[in-house]
Structure 1
Amino acid sequence: MTTTDELAEFVLAVEYDGLREAVREELKKRVLDSLGIAIGALDEGTPETVRATVREVSPDGPCHLWGSEERASIPEATMYNTALTRYLDFMDSFLAPGETPHPSDNVAAVIACGEAEGASGRELLEAIGVAYEIQGELAWNAPVRDRGFDHVTHTVISATAGAGKVLGLDHEELRNAIGIAATANNALRVTRTEGINEWKGVASAHAARNGAYAAMLARNGMEGPTDVFEGRKGWQAVVSGPFEIDPDPGCGRVLETMTKRYVAETYAQSAIEGIVELAEREEIDPEEVSEIRLDTFAGAKLIIGGGEGSRYEVATKAEADHSLPYMLAAALIDRELTNDAYDRERIRRADVQSLLKRVDVEEDEELTERFEAGEMPAVIDISTDEGTTYRVEKSAFAGHPRNPMEWREIEAKFDTIVGERYGADHKATIVGTVRDLESRETNDLLALLDSG
Structure 2
Amino acid sequence: MPTEPDLVHVFARHAAELSYDALPTVAREAAKKSVLDTLGVILAASGMEPAVRGVVEIVEEGGGKPECSVIGFGGRRPAMMAALANGAMAHCLDYDDQTPWGQHTASSIVPAVFAVAERRGGVSGKDLIAAVAVGQDIFGRLRCNVDWKKDWNLSTVLAVFAATASAGRTMGLSSRQVAHAMGIATMQCSGIMEMVAGRGSDLRGMYAGFSAKGAVLAALMAEKGITGIDRMFEGQYGFMNTYFGGGFDRESMVRDLGRDFLGSGTLYKRWPCVGTAHSHMKAAIDIVTKNDVHPDQIAEIRLHVGDYHELMCQPLQERRSPATLADAKFSLPFLVSIAIARRGMSVSDFTEDGLHDRAVLEIATKISLVNDPTLNWKLELPPGRVEILTHDGRRWSEEGRSVPGNADNPMGWDDICSKFRECATISVTRFADEVVTRVAGLAGRLEELSDATDLVKLLSPPAREA
* Normalised TM-score (structure 2): 0.89
Deviation at 1:133, TM superposition (A): 0.8
Q: Aligned residue for 1:236?
A: 240
Give the aligned residue type for 2:409: N
Tell me the alpha carbon deviations over residues 175-207 of structure 1, each in whole angstroms, 9 at most, x when there is no partner.
211111124422222211332411001112111
Q: Aligned residue for 1:21?
A: 25
Deviation at 1:297, TM superposition (A): 4.5
Pick aligned residue for 2:83 from 78, 86, 104: 78
- Please, which moves more after superposition, 249-258 or 37-46? 249-258
Alignment size in residue pairs: 447
Q: Aligned residue for 1:249?
A: 258
Superposition pairs for residues 130-145 of structure 1, below 5 Å? 130-145=134-149
Question: How many Å separate the matches in 1 of 2:210 and 2:41?
Answer: 18
Deviation at 1:367, TM superposition (A): 4.3
1:425 partnered with 2:434: yes
1:413 partnered with 2:423: no
Aligned to 2:199, what secondary structure does the other structure show? coil
Superposition pairs for residues 4-403 of structure 1, below 5 Å? 4-43=8-47, 44-96=49-101, 100-118=103-121, 119-242=123-246, 243=248, 244=250, 245-246=253-254, 248-250=257-259, 252-299=261-308, 301-306=309-314, 311-368=319-376, 372=379, 376-403=382-409
Question: How many Å separate the matches in 2 of 1:149 and 1:412?
Answer: 30
Give the aligned residue type for 1:327: L
Q: Mind listing any 5+ residue stretches in structure 2 that lack a counterpart?
A: none
Is contact 2:167-2:215 (8 Å) kept? yes
Question: How many Å separate the matches in 2 of 1:182 and 1:225?
Answer: 9
The alpha-carbon distance between structure 1 residues 328 and 147, as it changes in their structure 2 partners (threshold 3 A), is closer
The alpha-carbon distance between structure 1 residues 419 and 47, as it changes in their structure 2 partners (threshold 3 A), is same
Task: Provide runs of 4+ in structure 1 moved above 6 Å.
Answer: 307-310
The alpha-carbon distance between structure 1 residues 352 and 25, as it changes in their structure 2 partners (threshold 3 A), is same
- Please, which moves more after superposition, 63-72 or 389-398? 389-398
Deviation at 1:368, TM superposition (A): 4.7
Deviation at 1:425, TM superposition (A): 2.2
Q: Mind listing any 5+ residue stretches in structure 1 that lack a counterpart?
A: none
Question: How many Å separate the matches in 2 of 1:443 and 1:393?
Answer: 42
Question: How many Å separate the matches in 1 of 2:51 and 2:73?
Answer: 17
Is contact 1:270-1:378 (8 Å) kept? yes
Aligned to 1:442, what secondary structure does the other structure show? coil
Tell me the alpha carbon deviations over residues 131-156 of structure 1, each in whole angstroms, 9 at most, x when there is no partner.
10111111111254534455311111
Tell me the alpha carbon deviations over residues 280-311 of structure 1, each in whole angstroms, 9 at most, x when there is no partner.
23222213322111224443x14423399963
The alpha-carbon distance between structure 1 residues 15 and 35, as it changes in their structure 2 partners (threshold 3 A), is same
Deviation at 1:417, TM superposition (A): 2.0
Deviation at 1:24, TM superposition (A): 1.1
Tell me the alpha carbon deviations over residues 355-400 of structure 1, each in whole angstroms, 9 at most, x when there is no partner.
223212334344458x85x575222211122222233333341211
Q: Percent identity?
A: 25
Question: How many Å separate the matches in 1 of 2:316 and 2:138?
Answer: 27
Is contact 2:158-2:189 (8 Å) kept? no
The alpha-carbon distance between structure 1 residues 308 and 149, as it changes in their structure 2 partners (threshold 3 A), is farther
- Please, which moves more after superposition, 175-184 or 75-84? 175-184
Give the aligned residue type for 1:106: I
Is contact 1:65-1:77 (8 Å) kept? yes
The alpha-carbon distance between structure 1 residues 53 and 259, as it changes in their structure 2 partners (threshold 3 A), is same
Question: How many Å separate the matches in 2 of 1:308 and 1:109?
Answer: 37
Question: How many Å separate the matches in 2 of 1:106 and 1:38?
Answer: 13
Question: How many Å separate the matches in 2 of 1:337 and 1:13?
Answer: 42
- Please, which moves more after superposition, 208-217 or 336-345? 336-345
Aligned to 1:432, what secondary structure does the other structure show? helix
Is contact 2:298-2:389 (8 Å) kept? yes
- Please, which moves more after superposition, 46-55 or 392-401? 392-401
Aligned to 1:322, what secondary structure does the other structure show? coil
- Please, which moves more after superposition, 269-278 or 406-415? 269-278
Question: How many Å separate the matches in 2 of 1:38 and 1:269?
Answer: 21
Question: How many Å separate the matches in 1 of 2:316 and 2:124?
Answer: 44
Tell me the alpha carbon deviations over residues 208-251 of structure 1, each in whole angstroms, 9 at most, x when there is no partner.
11111011011111122222222232212211233222273246
Give the aligned residue type for 1:324: L
Aligned to 2:344, what secondary structure does the other structure show? coil
User: What RMSD, in angstroms, separates the aligned Cα atoms of the two structures?
Assistant: 2.4
